[in-house]
Amino acid sequence: MTLPTADVLAAVDADIDGSLERLFDWLRIPSISTDPAYKADVERAADWAVKEISGLGFTGGKRQTPGHPMIVMHHPGPNTGGAKSAPHILYYGHYDVQPPEPLELWDAPPFEPQLIDAERGKRIVARGAVDDKGQVMTWLESLRAWHKVNGGPPCEVTVLLEGEEETGSPNLVPFLKANAEELSRPDVAIVCDTPMWSLEKPAITWLLRGMCYVEVTLEGPSHDLHSGLYGGAVLNPINALTSILGDLQDDQGRVQIPGFYDDVEEPPEAVKANWAALGFDENAFLAGVGLTVPHGEAGRTPLERLWSRPTADVNGIWGGYTGEGSKTVIASRASCKLSCRLVPNQDPQKIKAGVEAFFRARAPKDAKLTFRFFGVNPGLKVATNTAYFRAAEQGLQDVFGVEPALMGCGGSIPVVGSMQRILGLDSLLVGFGLEDDRMHSPNEKFERACLHQGIRSNAAILARLAEG
């Protein structure tokens, strides 16, 4: 290694208590973006970050939006006299947090961070501990160590912090578009919002499933009917809707939407080998949610089913009488919400058309179908054969001594797609959460070891990226 990473890592280790104190300071600010009562606190959390990052040699600060401010800050990197010696990195994160309710389920007040003893060492408990203040601190504190030892990072760095991630990022896309020239200058983004495989095994998430989410309403009779007077001789919309949905999967668990699997790609063999080596314990996975029997598409491993195979799940259904006791009504309509998780290379518009065709082909002639699509976006993958990806793998291996898991993510991270589409910027999804961190739930936590190893990892990845 040509860069003095050992010194930087030593600086990280020496100041870990300081890192923890700073994270606690930030966690004490209740930056709940969804509740207008906390507007000043959200602003305060942004100011806190600007001040800390400014202290590391960055320029820039808050940028106003119609909602909470964005933060954009720059560091020129080492003075190379204009010759570009290393990639320009963009770090993305968010400084807002979820509301803490229900408060009575917290063991301590959510904005009074605790450091408690747990089975895997010390544990940070607070709203935002992992999502996303703790994760942001893994790269922010790595930049501090680089600043302390070398006067700054070994690359040009841009920071982009958002204050509305927990409200669906309403101003992110307009902001990226309005500032595309400036924000498309970096070569690669690092997004720190994903989990590790385990405390011992880091991970890079490279597959993100997309979504086709639809609400379908099936209408039959013009008004609710008495099942005694009409039952058996008129279309019952609930019977009709359940009959259609009952056809969603065949007995092999394959989704019956036309063309559903046409464009699905198999992951590269190297990735499949990486997954096989993870030793995923399906029984433990199921037991964690009170189940015992494997479920899903036949002939696929559980990690394939979760990461690289598309799905169709009914997320909600309603119709007719749902109160206590009995009411013999034939409802005039029934509705459901259905989401398909999509994988890269599936065309969401084609799936959307397939969903409509699936329902129309099975609906009784007299039924009126209405479709409302709420989210239609493609699956994403990060190229695994780039120098940036190899740098992230190497940096993680430097710190953990093991190969990172190449994970898929069943959910989507919209900012990754937005940056790819609007800025032409690929992301490295390197995060340090654990599956049991209770994101969005009471007693949200972040293991101190995750914070510490995360700072070390980001410091090492930065070195590896700077090597080019």
- Which positions from 327 through 346 interact with its own copies, judged by CB under 8 A? 327-331, 334-337, 339, 341
Cβ(375)–Cβ(340) under 8 Å?
Answer: no
Q: How far is the CB of 25 from its own copies (least distance, A)?
A: 30
51-80 binders of its own copies (CB under 8 A): none
DSSP 74: E
Q: How far is the CB of 261 from its own copies (least distance, A)?
A: 13
Nearest of 331, 319, 427, 317 to residue 380 by alpha carbon? 427
Q: Which among 35-43, 55-63, 125-133, 214-222 is the span making contact with its own copies, rule CB under 8 A?
A: 214-222
Q: How far is the CB of 241 from its own copies (least distance, A)?
A: 8
Query: How many angstroms separate the CA atoms of 109 and 419, rounded?
Result: 36
Cβ(429)–Cβ(204) under 8 Å?
Answer: yes
Residue with tokens 């009784």: 364
241 binds its own copies (CB under 8 A): yes
C-beta closer to its own copies: residue 278 or 329:
329
Of the candidates 30, 113, 128, 220, which one interacts with its own copies according to CB under 8 A? 220
Q: How far is the CB of 59 from its own copies (least distance, A)?
A: 37
Q: CA torsion, points 105, 138, 96, 123, in degrees to nearest 10?
A: 10
Interhelix angle 16-27/5-14, nearest 10 degrees: 60
Query: How many angstroms separate the CA atoms of 312 and 297, rounded?
Result: 11
Of the candidates 170, 231, 268, 468, which one interacts with its own copies according to CB under 8 A? 231
C-beta closer to its own copies: residue 279 or 325:
325
Structure tokens at 112: 């009074």
Of the candidates 246, 299, 401, 424, which one interacts with its own copies according to CB under 8 A? 246
404-423 binders of its own copies (CB under 8 A): 409-412
Single-letter amino acid code for the residue at 110: P
3-class DSSP state for residue 41?
helix
C-beta closer to its own copies: residue 76 or 221:
221
Of the candidates 6, 18, 35, 374, which one interacts with its own copies according to CB under 8 A? 374
369 binds its own copies (CB under 8 A): no
Beta 188-191 vs 427-430: how paired, if at all? parallel
C-beta closer to its own copies: residue 327 or 390:
327
Of the candidates 79, 222, 252, 385, which one interacts with its own copies according to CB under 8 A? 222
Question: How far from 98 is each of 131, 196, 448, 450, CA to CA, in Å?
Answer: 8, 21, 21, 21
Single-letter amino acid code for the residue at 347: D
CA-CA-CA-CA torsion sign (80, 86, 92, 95): negative
String of DSSP letters for 215-227? EEEEE-SSS-EEH
Of the candidates 9, 204, 245, 392, which one interacts with its own copies according to CB under 8 A? 245
Query: How many angstroms separate the CA atoms of 117 and 296, rounded?
Result: 38
276-315 binders of its own copies (CB under 8 A): 282, 285-286, 289-297, 302, 305-306, 309-315
Nearest of 305, 340, 314, 315 to residue 412 by alpha carbon? 340
C-beta closer to its own copies: residue 149 or 340:
340
150 binds its own copies (CB under 8 A): no
Q: How far is the CB of 218 from its own copies (least distance, A)?
A: 12
Of the candidates 12, 72, 190, 244, which one interacts with its own copies according to CB under 8 A? 244
